[in-house]
Amino acid sequence: MPEPLPSQAPSGHPFRRKGRSTEGLIKAFFGGNAALTIVILVLIIVFLLREGIGFFPAYRNELQNYRKSGLEFVDIARSDLTAHEEMGSLLNRAYFAQINSSCRIEMLRSQEAMSIANYLSEATAPAHDALARVKEAAGENATPAELLEKLSAKYRSLLENALAGKSGEGFPPTPHLSSAEQKLLCDQIAARDPLSTDDPPFATELQAALSAKQEQASAPLASFKEAIDAFQSTSSALDALVTETSDAVKTTKEAAVLHEIEVRKRETLLDAAKTAKPELRSQLEADAASAVMTEPVDFNVAMAPVLARIPEFKEANAALIAGLTEVSSKLPEAFSDDKANRYLKAFRAATPAMVAETADTVGKLEAWRADLPVEMGSTISGFISGRDWITGGEWQDFYGIMPLFVGSLMISVIALAFAIPFGVGAAIYTNQLAGRRQQRFVKPTIEFLQAIPSVVLGFVGIAVLGTLLQEVSSADSLSWIPGFPIQQRLNMFTAGCLLGLMAIPTIFTLSEDAINNVPAAFAEASDALGASKLQTIFRVTVPAAISGILAAVLLGLGRVIGETMVVLLVAGNRIQIPDFTDGLGSVFQPAHTLTGIIAQELGEVPFGSVHYRALFVVGILLFVIVLAINWTAQRLLRRFRISQN
Amino acid sequence: MKNPEQLIRRGVHRKGIAEGIVKTFLGCMTWAVIAVALMIFGRMIWDGAPVFFKREAPFVNIDFLTKKTETLHVFDDAEGNRHQLAASDFHRWTESHGSDAVFNEQTFSYCGGGIAGPIIGTALLTLLSVLMALFFGVSAAIYLSEYAKQGRFIGWVRLAILNLAGVPSIVFGLFGFAVFVLAAPVLTDAPADRSLLSIPLGFTHLSFQGWGSSLIAGAATLACMILPVIITASEESLKAVPQGFREASLALGATRWQTIRKSVLPFALPGILTSSVLSLARAAGETAPIMFTAAVAAKDDLPWQGSGGPLGVLTGQVQALPYHIYTLAARIPTSEYTERAQFGSVFVFLLMIFLFSAASVVLRNRVRSKLKW
């Protein structure tokens, strides 16, 4: 049976045309808006690539110049110097760790006494300074008694206020001074003449005690210290050599860069002349002819005197190795302090590698060729695995994202270490164990956390958490924890804590959803088989929801890696791969991140420079990482979704 | 223990203790998260409220909310009294007392005066971006829920929405910088040298040289960022309108557009508005996207006071509250004199965000109870 056709107006009928075309237009309008999302995504990708793609050729060109003008040659020699310095600083750190461990209490006591004295003099500064001014202005003449009286009264009232802890940030904490000592100190300062700035006797006493103790502790280590100093002085020959040669090659590079700029200017002018009006053309061409004022640099000639000094480099290198073997034989067996021991161990572990590397250097210097082209592949791998992100220097800019990447990664790991147990634990508790009333309170409250703007969390980190953690970590009872007491107020750990707090709502909400979506039949079947409630939860319900929980964790990770303001404010912004000799304590070091570097540097770079493009490449990388994480999460969710029926 | 099943279970397993321990442990974790959050709020309120509230009549520190941001000068006078004055007051003071009477002067940038500029800037940015995102987002949602059939195009759109929602905010900042600040089209008589493309129109040029760092560029960037949120939420509220409404309308002879306008949109509108209030909070809270596209640390006049007429509002840079907080936290060393500005700004900012969030929760509950089918 043929289907009855819907009655239609004849094809040319105005009613039909009108209806159709307006409807079609409206539909097209809405469709266009839907397509806008695709357009935005495409624009993001296109513009990131457009700004970023030029980075690698430009960076390669820079590296080419770096090699041609011989900076690379000097840097090969310099790498030994840096390694040597690091080794020396390891030994020094071991030495000071050993000394400080034995007079830690004295040091803290002295510092606390000084902080009290500083606090009080800071608080009384207005009156104190005014008094001093009045005395000075009066000179030989007698000072007006009335004014003096007034100012002294002012001084006393300020002092009283400060002693009561009402001034400024309040009385500084002094956990290592007894209250009697504290009182003695305050009395001494209060009794002091308003005009004097001498340290109170008690503070001087503590200072003397500290230096006595330090002397006592350093006496048995004198030979060690001597060995360290001798070791450090072995690098002086190389140091001088590197300084001299680096000056020479820097001049070469500057000349080469200047010449390149002038050539580029000439080309631009000639290009402009081609399209310019005839009357302007001759002018432009004349400008172009006079644009290049400098001679092209002959790199071989410029490098010859530097290359001639290779024998000297050889000698200096041998001195380094000799110094290293010398100091290795003089090292003490072990220290009583853990930290000092760790540094010593790190030194011993690094010694063979350094000897090998230093021995290699001469070969590298001899094999080095200025005219070897820089490959594109090595440029890209240098960007990805480079350990230096150095910008704005006058030597050479390097763009290696390893320190940024490691910083981002470590902060994310710390954040997840907090967020996973708390987020998933809270989800299990809320969904399976808590009563209805608790559920009704907990769920919206944790979701509400999501509304805290990240810049506020960053501010909390700077204003409250950083200082709080530092104060807690300096407690004596906690000094066994690696990394305590915390040296830097802003570090990866603080940032990780706050980011963990940010990731908890994401992980909590999605895990709770996942657990909620497990069909009730699973739990019922488990009950029917006689399982206890805990068995049901941890052997049936949670495993059934595990893909959803994993997806939640991944989405949380995506959020943490992409977060900017907290890490920019709290992570400490030191561009360096963390020093892992501290073991677990290395989480208390500052770091910089992929997101942070963009936020910090994009505002300052010139448009179109290599640095500017490097930041866009970092953006592309970030975009790819976060998208990959999100896609994996979505696929996990889709593949392992348990159907409700 | 009224349920006999549970009684039996308890008798059988005798694992009550283990269960109790696990339950307490997980419960402690849950409440620890909440406690930490409350402590953070508590601290911010404890330090910020004294700046915002006053004991006397209006009970709110009007000066802090309505004055412009200025540099704070801290100094002693000849008699040893310490003064804290904003730049304009400081100049008045030096005029009457002479500048020789100032001792131990310290200055703290952005810490004096009030935060009128940042508040207004954030309000403008947020409002503009949400308006833009609502227009495009609701249209896209209408297409997705009313017109579209399953197909390749829809698949692409959904993929794009999903991906856009995951893009980090700093990448949106880069995108906004590259597109709106440096490459968006403007009408100008003299195209800049770095213009991507310049089309002569006879009387003027359409040049793709960007809007510069401006209110409109920042709002557009924020709009792109909250677009996926608004689309998803709007589609949900559109889908929640019963199918019968559409069928009845179509059966009466209405066209598709008439159906949408008269029988779908009015019932979905409350839901859409609710979700948009939530995205308002998100747009107001973001810092990274506006850092390079709109925000400026210090500005002497309010957006409409500059030159350039009514369009000057759109093309000028603005101060923004989150950026202001970032500047205060990152560039000014904390001391007792900066705390007023820092904690006060954070308090006002949190208050704003929570008013938005709370409004959206209340609205959602009211909408849910009102519209039931």
The chain-wide mean pLDDT, for chain A, equals: 83
Contact check, Cβ <8 Å, A534/B228: no
Task: Please tell me whether residues A277 and A203 are part of one structural domain.
Answer: no
Angle among Cα A229, A395, A53 to the nearest 5 degrees reads: 130
pLDDT of residue A345: 85
pLDDT of residue B199 exceeding 80? no
Q: In chain B, how many domains are there?
A: 2
Choose among B81, B255, B350: nearest Cβ to A456.
B350
pLDDT of residue B216 exceeding 80? yes
Count of beta carbons in the 10 Å neighbourhood of residue A213: 18
pLDDT tens column, A72-82: 888 888 888 88
Q: Which residue has the higher pLDDT, A423 or B194?
A: A423
Task: Please tell me whether residues A533 and A439 are part of one structural domain.
Answer: yes
DSSP state of B263: I
Q: Which residue has the higher pLDDT, A338 or A407?
A: A407
CATH of the domain at A526: 1.10.3720.10
Structural domain boundaries enclosing A625: 414-572+618-639
Name, in order, each residue with C-beta under 8 angstroms of B305's C-beta and a sequence gap of 6 or more: none
Task: Please tell me whether residues B67 and B185 are part of one structural domain.
Answer: no
Task: Please tell me whether residues A23 and A73 are part of one structural domain.
Answer: no
Contact check, Cβ <8 Å, A623/B147: no
Q: What is the pTM of this model?
A: 0.86
Q: Mutation test of the interface with chain B: which of A526, A565, A627, choosing the one with the most B Cβ atoms within 10 A? A: A565
Comparing C-alpha atoms, which of B111, B66, B182, B90 is closest to residue A602?
B182
Choose among A26, A33, A460: nearest Cβ to B136.
A33
Judge contact between A509 and A447, C-beta under 8 A: yes
Nearest Cα of chain B lies from the Cα of A23 at a distance, in angstroms, of 7
Count of beta carbons in the 10 Å neighbourhood of residue B42: 11
pLDDT tens column, B110-169: 888 888 888 989 999 999 999 999 999 999 999 998 888 778 888 888 888 988 888 999
Residue ranges of B 261-320 with Cβ closer than 8 A to chain A: 281, 284-288, 291-292
pLDDT of residue A12: 56
Name, in order, each residue with C-beta under 8 angstroms of B272's C-beta and a sequence gap of 6 or more: B134, B138, B141, B230, B233, B234, B237, B238
Choose among A453, A595, A619: nearest Cβ to B322.
A453
Task: Please tell me whether residues A557 and A471 are part of one structural domain.
Answer: yes
Q: In chain A, how many domains are there?
A: 4
Structural domain boundaries enclosing B247: 116-370
Most confident of A70-74, A217-221, A378-382: A378-382
Choose among B142, B161, B174: nearest Cβ to A37.
B161
pLDDT of residue A47 exceeding 80? yes
Task: Please tell me whether residues B66 and B214 are part of one structural domain.
Answer: no
> A394 lies in a domain?
no
Choose the final residue of a domain: B113, B146, B176: B113
> A387 lies in a domain?
no
pLDDT of residue A644: 44
pLDDT of residue A483: 74
pLDDT tens column, B327-361: 988 888 777 788 888 888 999 999 988 888 888 77
pLDDT of residue A9: 55
Contact check, Cβ <8 Å, A565/B326: yes
pLDDT of residue B4: 59
pLDDT of residue A645: 37
pLDDT of residue A114 exceeding 50? yes
Judge contact between B319 and B296, C-beta under 8 A: yes
Task: Please tell me whether residues A170 and A281 are part of one structural domain.
Answer: no
pLDDT tens column, A516-538: 888 888 889 998 998 888 888 88
pLDDT of residue A276: 73
Task: Please tell me whether residues A33 and A70 are part of one structural domain.
Answer: no
pLDDT tens column, B22-66: 889 999 999 999 999 889 889 888 888 888 887 777 777 787 888
Task: Please tell me whether residues A164 and A279 are part of one structural domain.
Answer: no
Residue ranges of B 235-254 with Cβ closer than 8 A to chain A: none
Task: Please tell me whether residues A74 and A35 are part of one structural domain.
Answer: no
> B54 lies in a domain?
no
pLDDT of residue A596: 92
Rounded average pLDDT over B310-337: 84
pLDDT of residue A69 exceeding 50? yes
Q: Mutation test of the interface with chain B: which of A21, A30, A151, choosing the one with the most B Cβ atoms within 10 A? A: A30
Name, in order, each residue with C-beta under 8 angstroms of B20's C-beta and a sequence gap of 6 or more: none
> A96 lies in a domain?
no
pLDDT tens column, A192-215: 777 777 777 888 888 888 888 888
Contact check, Cβ <8 Å, B79/A31: no
Cβ density class A570-591: b for 16+ within 10 Å, e for less: bbbbbbebbeebbeebbbbbbb
Choose among A449, A558, A634: nearest Cβ to B37.
A449
> B27 lies in a domain?
no
Residue with tokens 């939640």: A552
> A85 lies in a domain?
no
Q: Which residues in chain B have their CB less than 8 angstroms from residue A501's CB?
A: 33, 36-37
Task: Please tell me whether residues A424 and A507 are part of one structural domain.
Answer: yes
